[in-house]
Chains A and B, each alone.
Chain A
Amino acid sequence: TQLLEQSPQFLSIQEGENLTVYCNSSSVFSSLQWYRQEPGEGPVLLVTVVTGGEVKKLKRLTFQFGDARKDSSLHITAAQTGDTGLYLCAGPYFGNEKLTFGTGTRLTIIP
């Protein structure tokens, strides 16, 4: 069974601080996505990274794909209360078109 582990599982920080969350696997992805989910709603796609070592920025969010395409990180600069939510990584492993989702990081930004 392929596993996508996210860490930390829970993170609570003050508004204005920086943070990084991680997504790790022992298998290689053909691409990787990050989603954010609000309570009671479906996840919403934030970004897709495709190339090993790729870095993408979405305002205060920076996404990086590992060189070996087995891991990814999400860095948030100057966190805001609107960043609160469940962050999920997901990816199709090579040779498999289905998306496998990570275990999730529950982020809470304290005003």
Chain B
Amino acid sequence: SQTIHQWPATLVQPVGSPLSLECTVEGTSNPNLYWYRQAAGRGLQLLFYSVGIGQISSEVPQNLSASRPQDRQFILSSKKLLLSDSGFYLCAWMRDTGYTEAFFGQGTRLTVV
């Protein structure tokens, strides 16, 4: 069965520091991978998605970037964090069985101070 791992679970970083969040998927090959950000108790905003190694699409202009160095690895980064980067970050892989379904990691609570 497929599993998705995301870490760390919580992170407190000072403004101006770098960021690296990692997501890995097991049990599937060539997954479509996504990074979402969620405001407190609300819906999810799509940040980046990737359909393969080195292929990144950005949905919104922002202070973040993403990379896909390996088939089952997806990384969210920033060179200098802003206060507005605080939020709950979720990695997901999409299963396509004729229709798209998302399976999420546990999420990372990022607080920029």
Contacts and interface: CB of A to CB of B under 8 A. Distances in A.
Q: Kindly name the residue among B46, B100, B107 whose own CB sees the greatest number of chain A CB atoms within 10 A.
A: B100
Interface in A22-72: 30-31, 33, 35, 40-45, 48, 50
A99 B107 contact: no
Contacts of B103: 45
A41 B99 contact: no
Contact of B41 (A6, A31, A86): A86
Contacts of B96: 97
Nearest to A42: B104
Interface size of B as a range: 20 to 34
Given A99-B94, A102-B43, A31 B99 contact: yes
A49 B99 CA distance: 9
A69 to B, nearest CB: 12
Interface of B: 6, 32, 34, 36, 41-44, 46, 49, 90, 92, 94, 96, 99-107, 109
Given A42-B90, A97-B94, A104-B41, 12 more contacts: A30-B99, A31-B99, A33-B102, A42-B92, A42-B107, A43-B90, A43-B102, A86-B41, A90-B102, A92-B99, A97-B100, A100-B46
10 contacts: A33-B102, A42-B104, A45-B102, A90-B102, A99-B46, A99-B94, A99-B102, A101-B36, A104-B41, A104-B42
